[in-house]
Amino acid sequence: MPSTTSCYVVITPVRDEESFLPLTIASMTRQTVRPAEWVIVDDGSKDRTGEIADQAGREHSWIRVVHRTDRGYRRWGAGIIEAFYDGFNALTCRNWDFMSKLDGDLSFEPEYFEQAISKFEDDSCLGIGGGILYHYESMQMVWEKHPTFHVRGGTKIYRRACWESIGGLWVGPGSDTVDEVKANMQGWTTRSFTDLHLQHHRFTGASWGRWGGLVKDGKIDYVSGYHPLFLAAKAAVRLPRKPYFLSSLALLYGYITAYLQNTPRVNDPELIRYLRRQQLARLFGGETIWK
């Protein structure tokens, strides 16, 4: 029997995901502990994504669909968060304990949410958590690596008290970093669940291409307030990785371009100071949220 008694809700912003959304729907409908409500936000899709979501809503009373008009392009950074908030504001369940921001290109085991929520129930300090992603390249499983304190944006589960404490999500590039840093700054812990796995059918950055994805990451690092020394070190460790020099160059190019274009940064000086202290501690061997 399911062990958790907590109430959770899920919000899934999607755009042109007709190939993969059915896999996410199948995974959700098989969950041993289903959400009180799942809101799928069709962010102006040009394919059959909206129809697929509507069909799921007709078949399951706990699935609801919100349709947004097509803005004509993928809006970098802010677009997915704006779509998420349309879903969040459409929630009819008000007494949720946990809320998940879930991508629509994932598949996972039936026990995923039951086991994830149980981890929150066992650790009252855990504010943000979620499983880890993998995808396949040339028939080989590839884990999407990142620091343990970081939870991929498309798998995040928020404890309600933490969500309210951090004031929700920054509407712009870097929201997936800002929420975690702010949570840790306020005394919460954030953690990826290394024993809970989700298959990522459109692996991270695929829609931007390899170069474009790394340039985007560099811009996000600037917007989030990364220390220049930490960014330089991040680029340096990429030098021996394929495509070698190009990946480091793309990251630096994105960061410097964002600086030169005076791209707006997160308007939270305290958070940026905290992040930079953590990053310098990481560089010089001190105690830090990086694990």
Rounded-to-10 torsion of CA 34, 174, 217, 142 = -20
Average pLDDT, the chain: 92
User: Which of 9-23, 43-57, 207-221 is the least confident region?
Assistant: 207-221
Pick the more confident residue, 37 or 143.
Answer: 37
pTM of the full structure: 0.92
From residue 277, how far is each of 170, 197, 265, 266, 271 by CA, in Å? 21, 31, 17, 16, 10
Residue 204: pLDDT over 80: no
Please give the pLDDT value at position 73.
62
Domain coordinates of the chain in residue numbers? 8-204, 209-283
State what percent of residues in the chain have pLDDT above 70. 93
Q: 243: cis peptide before it, omega within 30°?
A: yes
Pick the more confident residue, 265 or 138.
Answer: 265
SS3 192: strand
Of the candidate CATH numbers 3.90.550.10, 2.60.120.10, 1.10.287.3510, 3.90.980.10, the domain formed by 8-204 belongs to 3.90.550.10
- Count other Cβ atoms within 10 Å, centred on residue 34: 18
Please give the pLDDT value at position 1.
44
Confidence category of residue 76, pLDDT binned at 50, 70, 90: low
Please give the pLDDT value at position 104.
97
